[in-house]
Amino acid sequence: MSSDNVPIEQAPNWRGQLVGMARWPKRVLLLLSDFALLTLALWLSLCFRLNTIYVPPSTDMALVLAMAPAIGIVTFYGLGLYRLVTRYIGQKGTIRILLAVGLATLLWALAVLMSGVTGVPRSVVVLYGVLAALLVWASRQVVGWILKGLPNVRPASFDDDRKKVLIWGAGPPGVALLEALRRSGDSLPVGFLDDQPSLWGQSLSGIKVYKPEKLDKLISRDGVKEVLLAIPESHRRERRSIIARLELHAVRVKTLPSMEDIASGRVAVSDLRPIDVIDLLGRDPVPPDPRLLARNITGKSVMVTGAGGSIGSELTRQIVRQKPASLVLLEQSEVALYEIGTEITDLVDKLPLTERPQVISTLGSVLDGALLRDVIARHGVQTIYHAAAYKHVPIVEHNTAAGIMNNTFGTRTLAAVAREQRVERVVLISTDKAVRPTNIMGASKRLAELILQAHADDPGAVTVFTAVRFGNVLDSSGSVVRRFRKQIAEGGPVTVTHPDVIRYFMSIPEAAELVLQAGAMAAGGDVFSLDMGEPVKIDALARSMIRLMGLEVQDETAPDGDIAISYIGLRPGEKLYEELLIGGETIMTEHPRIVRSKEPHLSSAVLERELTLLEAALSPLDVSAVHKILLRTVEGYHPETRHLDREPGMPPISRTVH
């Protein structure tokens, strides 16, 4: 078996001792080795040129010849050749060796000329430079092979029980990933795949680069089990195209969170993760506008409600980067508040002293007007991002009173206090389910939008009220992605509500970034919608996730497949598809992924009357009255009649969360 890339901790003792030597002894060994090699190169050059076993004819000639290795050592040291890690010399190290030898040869030639000593043919100078470069470079390669093990020069089909992997992407990230794999020793890279024809057939660090069409042959010949993507995350469309091709093959596909981190050594191979929905979206990010991000945050006192939730927590992370004067985290879950408070405090502690905002963790509900008034007044809050909400459709559907109280009346309380305290701006985090809703959650969020629109319509208000509406975010609590991942790990079945259901998806960081920018563009009363990209068919998503785990979908065409898909029916109030706009005037903004909409709304008097009736219907809960009020106030509200008389507390029918 080849000794390919034996990790240092598993290598023979003498290897570990060599690697563990102090820096200066290792440099002295290299220096002595280089002196001997340069002397040998010069002597061989003279022997070849003069066709004899050369012996210096005089002391002066011997001194002139001795200057060559001496000048070489000084030049090597000055150009930092002895600061390179010998076992990872790489392409940059090779170039530095060539430059150093070339410069040393030139300096020696000048020294010979100035000394006045004759008898050194000009061809010897050239030959010396070539031989010196070859010997010094070869010495580094030999040392690297001794310390790391011999490179892979045999097909991977020999007896090696390590997992065979292919790396897709033969650029610098791919080479960095190869080195990380070699250091770990758990996997055996058997080749690179790349779309660049100029790379096909070449060898990088002893590993051959193949055209993608060779994938089937490599899988069958070498027993490849995994393909590792070494394509930067910023090239999402390219990654999506590659992933679509890999879906057709029975291999597990993994990637790394940051190829840049691999190159700098901050990420280990253990951080390799399965391909996720964010990789399947194929949506290249749009660089944010720094002016918009900072406009309502830098130097201001900012509050985030629901700060421990999926969106709220990401908002706080991004707000800290914009250097607020203070940041108030409002959260009603003690555990969630502790976790986000600790994380944000750790982030703040890493900032320069002059840029550290005050972080205030506040335990409480947006329904507590007295608490809101005290916190806003005491900390001079100027901007509020209102992310506190109950968002899970089946839970809110079966807990009508709690959902409406928190989502609708919590927003009413917050808006009233913010206006009273003359807060500069309130940005509501809304949802696509508020558009022509078929469930309580969507209706309660649309009412929250109407409340802010009514306040904004009042000429006496100085606070700018606005809402930002978007669809599903990836990997939030209750996300279908988490659910599918868990079901696949348990062997299935994967539960899908309906074969035709589609949803829009966006990453949490992108959503939070767009919320901050949209809020900065608000004039008051506007509803912003985020461009969610192309809709995703949930059934296709489930099948892709199964295949990219190296498994086969079990269906009528493959009865012996690994994971079955079970269709369990739409949940109460759930649509086959979601919408982002109700209607009205739609205007593009300065950001290509943010749309402004002036949507119809109710007057303050009418809305307040309906909210008073709704509040009365919630205690004790009168489901029929609640739905009648929602039908009058929420445009497009269309609940399923079979759920109108449902008793509170009944368990949800579906356990799958989209």
DSSP state letters, 173-224: HHHHHHHHHHHH-SEEEEEEE-S-GGGTT-EETTEEEE-GGGHHHHHHHHT-
DSSP string, 534-546: S-EEHHHHHHHHH
Crossing angle, helix 369-379 and helix 410-420, to 10 degrees?
40
Q: Tokens 């406009």 — which residue?
A: 295
CA distance 456 to 52: 98
* Omega within 30 of 0 (cis) for the link into 620: yes
Query: How many Å apart are CA 456 and CA 423, to the nearest integer?
Result: 13
Q: Residues for the chain: how many in total?
A: 658
| Sign of the dihedral defined by the CA atoms of residues 102, 107, 110, 116, in that order | negative
pLDDT for residue 292: 93
Buried (b) or exposed (e) across 308-346, using 16+ Cβ within 10 A?
Answer: bbbbbbbbbebbbebbbebbbbbbbeeebbeebbeebee
Contact 315, 516 (CB under 8 A): yes
Please, is 158 exposed, middle or buried when counting C-beta atoms within 10 Å of its C-beta (0-12, 13-18, 19+)? exposed
Strand, coil or helix: 458: coil
What pLDDT was estimated at residue 485? 81
pLDDT at 251: 80
Query: Which pLDDT does position 646 carry in this prediction?
Result: 40
Helix axes 90-115, 59-78, angle to 10 degrees: 150
d(CA 106, CA 421): 77
Helices (H), 3-82: 13-20, 23-50, 59-78
Rounded CA gap, 358 and 323, in Å?
10
Nearest residue to 205 (alpha-carbon basis) of 92, 79, 99, 81: 92
Q: What 3-state DSSP class applies to 506?
A: strand
Angstrom distance (rounded) from CA 575 to CA 215: 40
Structure token pair of residue 327: 């940041």
Q: Starting from the edge strand earliest in sequence, which strands make up the sheet with 563-567, in order?
A: 494-496, 563-567, 553-554
Asked if residue 444 lies in contact with residue 404, where contact means CB atoms within 8 angstroms, the answer is yes
Separation CA 231–CA 243 (nearest Å): 11
User: Could you tell me the maximum CA-CA distance found in the chain, to the nearest angstrom?
Assistant: 114
Distance of CA 323 to the CA centre of its chain: 23
Query: Per-10-residue mean pLDDT for the chain, 658 residues long?
Result: 38 50 70 89 88 85 88 85 61 78 89 81 87 86 63 45 83 79 80 86 81 86 84 70 78 69 54 66 73 94 95 95 96 96 94 92 97 97 96 89 96 97 96 88 95 91 92 68 83 86 79 91 88 77 78 80 85 65 71 85 92 93 92 86 41 29
SS3 sequence of 594-640: EEEEECCCCCHHHHHHHHHHHHHHHCCCCHHHHHHHHHHHCCCCCCC
Query: What is the pLDDT at residue 430?
Result: 93
Neighbours of 154 (CB within 10 A): 12
What tokens were used for 206? 């002893």
Structure confidence at residue 573 (pLDDT): 59
3-state SS, residue 521: helix
pLDDT of residue 298: 95
- pLDDT in the model for residue 476: 64
Alpha-helical (H) ranges within 186-333 are 215-222, 236-246, 259-264, 277-281, 290-295, 310-321
Predicted pLDDT at 656: 27
- CA separation for the pair 503, 21 (Å, rounded): 58
Task: Give residue 645's pLDDT.
Answer: 40
Question: What secondary structure does DSSP assign to 384-420, as a single string?
Answer: EEE------HHHHHT-HHHHHIIIIIHHHHHHHHHHH
